[in-house]
A = this chain, B = another copy of it.
Amino acid sequence: MTDFELMRELQQQNTSKIVLLVLDGLGGIPLDPGGHSALEAAKTPNLDRLAGEGTLGQFVSIRPGITPGSGPAHLALFGYDPLEYEAGRGVLEATGIGMEISINDVAARGNFCTLDSSGNISDRRAGRISSEEAIPLVLKLDEIELPDVSLDVRHVREYRFAAVMRGADLNPEIADTDPQTTGVPPLSARADKPTSEKAAEHFNRWIKRAGEALSDEKKANGLTLRGFSSDPRLPQFPEIYGLRSACIAVYPMYRGVSRLVGMDVIPFDGDTPEEEFVAAANHWDAFDFFFIHIKKTDSSGEDGDIIKKAKVIEVVDKALPALLNLNPDVLAVTGDHSTPAKLKTHSWHPVPFLLWAPDTVRVDSQDTFGERSCQSGGLGTFPATDIMPLLMAHAKRLRKFGA
């Protein structure tokens, strides 16, 4: 029996509410030996209280030593082993902004870039042009017409867009055209498998037309495409767990992965933790499970700014009472992976995990929320795919296995 079959078999309905609060890239390491991580340094009276009343642990997102991308990390949080279930970055980005991906469609993430007079990339992000500058260019790209296929292009944010190609016999095994460096031209779309050659040719034709359309631009006179992918047709989260499930996230990627697993994406105004918690409150009765995503812990970690990362955590802590006032039965506070400011990038370090469930939790000996207290927490070290069964159990939503 697979783990999903076990969940389908044992799930039972009740009125309990589960909140999975994900501070992206939460885990870290100190800048210096003997120092504190951002989470340890942050003043978090509310989280520390929850740690004292709940239990801690740390989870491994994919496998020990493996640094996850955001897509796989979130699939793992939701119970999908990322080595078994894959969702391409292009699909995640396109789905995240509400684009429909059907069978045979191929989606890609696009970046505007700056090309010098020799056609080499001088800026991989086109001087980080604003959304205002980018939107008219995206509309130009969307107007390009090709024989045999159509290409929908939509703006994501700043210099980023998503492109979805629709047609017959298209396959997504195509290598990124982003060379990941400057001083060289963008690569052409190359098929990794013979079955993807047709789609690669269509994309190359489109890239040529797009280059012509952008040729008069100063900053955004070129583009790169990444993460070619198709709908992975994932088993659906609400059905696996029997949970009416909502996603509250500011960034498209996280809405995308939530939509791909079948969650409802709640639209709301604003982008602060408080505003996200208000969105949860406004839809509290309609759902059993809330995935709430906070992005800025990750971005400050990637910027190497440990002080800003600690401040983001403090902002979440301060907003937390609004969430607690909703009386969730089970609240998990965690990350999707670690993003140590010292490393300025995602990392493989286990992710701190806090589980609070006043009716059912076995309280451990820890009373602060940090990497080291989580290492000594009662839940031990466990794979990310154990999270959902643990949340379901503490919400009394799983029947006994066997007599």
A residues in contact (CB < 8 Å) with B:
1, 3, 6, 10, 27, 29-30, 33-34, 37, 53, 58, 62-72, 82-83, 86, 88-89, 226-227, 340, 343, 345-350, 358, 360-365, 371-372, 375-382, 386, 388-394, 398-403
Contacts and interface: CB of A to CB of B under 8 A. Distances in A.
Given A33-B53, A386-B65, A403 B365 contact: no
A64 B390 contact: yes
Contact of A63 (B27, B226, B349, B389): B389
A3 B83 CA distance: 10
B6 A89 contact: no
Nearest to A54: B33
A124 to B, nearest CB: 15
Contacts of A378: 371-372, 375
A403 B337 CA distance: 13
Contact of A64 (B33, B63, B389): B389
Given A88-B403, A348-B390, A375-B380, 5 more contacts: A58-B380, A67-B393, A345-B400, A350-B380, A362-B371
Contacts of A372: 364-365, 378
A360 B67 CA distance: 13
Contacts of A227: 403
A380 B381 CA distance: 6
Contact of A68 (B3, B37, B347, B400): B400
Contacts of A67: 393, 398-401
Contacts of A380: 58, 350, 375, 380-381
B365 A401 contact: no
A382 B64 contact: yes
Given A365-B376, A402-B71, A65 B29 contact: no
A66 B6 contact: yes
A256 B152 CA distance: 60
Counting every copy of the chain, the complex holds 2
Contact of A401 (B82, B375, B381): B82
A189 to B, nearest CB: 17
A351 to B, nearest CB: 11
30 contacts: A3-B63, A27-B362, A29-B362, A33-B358, A33-B363, A34-B363, A58-B380, A63-B389, A64-B382, A64-B390, A64-B393, A65-B386, A65-B388, A65-B393, A67-B393, A67-B398, A67-B400, A67-B401, A68-B400, A69-B403, A70-B403, A86-B402, A340-B362, A345-B400, A347-B360, A364-B372, A375-B377, A376-B376, A380-B380, A381-B381
Contacts of A347: 360, 393
Contact of A381 (B63, B66, B362, B382): B382
